[in-house]
Chains A and B, each alone.
Chain A
Amino acid sequence: MTPAGRRVDLAIETRGLSKRFGHQLAVDGVNLAVPSGSVFGFLGPNGSGKTTTIRMMLGLAAATEGTVSVLGLAMPDRFHEVLPRVGALVEGPAFYPFLSGAANLRRLDAADPYAAASTRSARVEAALERVGLSHAAGKKVRAYSLGMKQRLGIANALLSPRELLVLDEPTNGLDPQGTREVRSLVRSLAADGATVFVSSHLLAEVEQICTHAAIMSAGRLVAQGTLAQLRDAGKARIRLVTHDAGLAEGVFASLGMSPAGGRSNGALVYGDGGQDGEVVEPEAVVAALVAAGVRVRGFAVEQGSLEDRFVALTGEGFDIAQ
């Protein structure tokens, strides 16, 4: 029985993973658990330590402290067993500009000691086909657009059948068409049974394709779990549009509800938690408002989004965490 045949519960597991660059702690005690078969979104603002974590997973950088195991095996000690089963796109694509797209893939495939030379050309062709680059296979990469390089980088990750794909910002530089294609590609890879680990700062993308997610902020892992768990942790809110704001505020107060985010666009926004932290049912709120004579012009319940959760955990604005 080869290690490849053994199914493990966690495709990636890190324990107390830390990386220090000089005085700066880039990754700080990260305990990541990526279930096998999941599509796992790895979220975080720029500079939050996502790529450094990925580099340590793939054995490119050594951990200052902590351990990483990938597909059940310790990294980087057992890289020669792990990495042939892992396809990766790390911090953007990188290729030899003076070689054609197909020649670049053949070169990187030759570096994999397990990749059979006899099937190389066929596999390169199939990978190019899968990302829609067949027409540009013979073109020098120098002449590729950013989006084409990104596609070629994804093709490189797909050269052999993989059990785990680590895709760092896979839709970077892609047009909307390409973004859709990547989404459907990720779904089809997951349907084939692979675990897909996608790092991204595009929340909408993660919400659309992922089953699980983790959020990094300033080198720390601040949340992880299924998407539903992450969303639920951000409570629903009630948005009311009315001319009787003062009256309505009194009703909300009597129900024990507190404002969330104040007025926005002339609407009142309240959390849905009442007295004792119990959720107040929306119909009860509307009934109470109408009974009090509040003229309700608009009433909406907004579910907590991943974005709310993300912003709550990582802060707003353009400040890059240091």
Chain B
Amino acid sequence: MPSNNIARASGWPLLASELSVLFRRRRTWAMLLALAAVPVLMAVAVRVSSAVPPGRGPAFLDRFTQNGLFVGVTALLVCVPLFLPLTVGVVAGDTIAGEAGLGTLRYLLVAPAGRVRLLLVKYAGAAAFCIVAPLVVALAGAGIGASLFPVGPVTLLSGDVISPQEAVLRLVLVAAYLTVSLLGLSAVGLFLSTLTDVPVGAMAATIVASVVSQVMGELPQLDWLHPWLFSYYWFGFADLLRQPIAWDSFAGNALLQGGYIAVFGALAYGRFVTKDVLS
């Protein structure tokens, strides 16, 4: 029973609960394991084959045998167009629609979670997944690379050479860049998730949005539109692999994703606070 001597709590217990439900869920683990399998498969394939002809396959594939740390970067590059948006689409599309589908949405609201607070907590949960997913790929890549191939100083795109420790830092930085890249898509997913009680529909729609954005980004006829697409900077992390680091695309990316968060966050808010919860 509320009274004056119990301060009105913040959303932290609910956020903690949300993160624990998300990351203890078997589905989340399956997706993270699948992501981790990408660098492992690539590294093992290169290890068992005799030699990779330079210039074929994903970038840096031929450099694995000289330096295992390249596995992390290459795996991230491979995961950007499909695997990362796919998993983020599942998590972000599930946010509200998943609760509605289970019927737990009404009990959260009656608890009362508060619609705005629930929306914020749900987005924070999706954002946490955006942090973890690229990091898993990067670290699994570095790990399998280090165990199958020699590790040494890394030559950057600018020609400078950095130590392996510094290279791991750069790898984490690239993962952070991808985290930011996926935040806009998460906001789109959150909004789509408020539109339906069928989580699979919201997930599919989010994933389709990421594909459409990338396809439009390939069409020269839509040049004027490209800087407005949330996938515009997705492959822009090469700037982080130079010496000194060029932060331009990181900043541009952050601004663009911030815009998507603002717009789709507002749409999700507008939709969710007035929604009749009938599931």
Q: Give Cα distance in the complex from A91 to B118, angstroms.
A: 21
Q: Does A304 sit at the interface, judged by CB under 8 A?
A: no
For the complex, is B26 an interface residue (Cβ under 8 Å from A)?
A: yes
Interface size on A, residues (CB 8 A): 42
Stretch in contact with the other chain, from A37-45, A80-88, A231-239, A260-268: A80-88
A60/B276 in contact, CB under 8 A: yes
Give which listed residue, A5, A112, A116, contacts B112 with CB less than 8 A: A112
Q: Quick check: A113 and B8 within 8 Å, CB to CB? A: yes
A59 within 8 A of B: yes
Q: Does B277 contact A (CB under 8 A)?
A: yes
A94–B6 CA distance with the chains assembled, in angstroms: 29
Interface string of A263-281 (1 = CB under 8 A from B): 0000000000000000000
Contacting pair A156 B278 (CB below 8 A)? no
Name the residue on B nearest A52 (C-beta): B278
* Measured CA separation A201–B117 after assembly (Å): 36
Q: Would you call B109 an interface residue if the criterion is a C-beta within 8 Å of the partner chain's C-beta atoms?
A: yes
Q: Which of A79, A109, A111 is packed against the most chain B CB atoms within 10 Å?
A: A111
In the complex, the answer to whether B278 meets A61 with C-beta atoms within 8 Å is yes
The binding surface of chain A is classed by DSSP as: loop
A91 to B102: give the CA distance in the assembly, Å: 12
**A94 touches which of B103, B117, B274 (Cβ 8 Å):** B103
Give every chain A residue within 8 A of B10 (Cβ-Cβ). Answer: 113
Tell me whether B219 is interfacial, beta carbon within 8 Å.
no
Interface size on B, residues (CB 8 A): 34
| Distance, CA A55 to CA B26, complexed state (A) | 32
B274 (CB) vs chain A CBs: closest residue: A62
- Min Cβ gap A142→B in Å is 11
Q: Is A99 an interface residue (CB 8 A)?
A: yes
**Contact residues in B for A5 (Cβ distance below 8 Å):** 3
Give me the 6 closest cross-chain CB pairs, A-B, nearest first. A94-B103, A111-B111, A83-B112, A111-B113, A110-B17, A61-B276
27 of the cross-chain contacts (CB-CB < 8 Å) are A2-B3, A2-B4, A4-B1, A55-B106, A55-B276, A59-B112, A60-B110, A61-B277, A61-B278, A80-B112, A81-B2, A83-B110, A83-B112, A85-B1, A88-B107, A90-B107, A91-B103, A94-B103, A96-B21, A99-B21, A108-B108, A110-B14, A112-B113, A113-B117, A114-B6, A114-B9, A117-B13
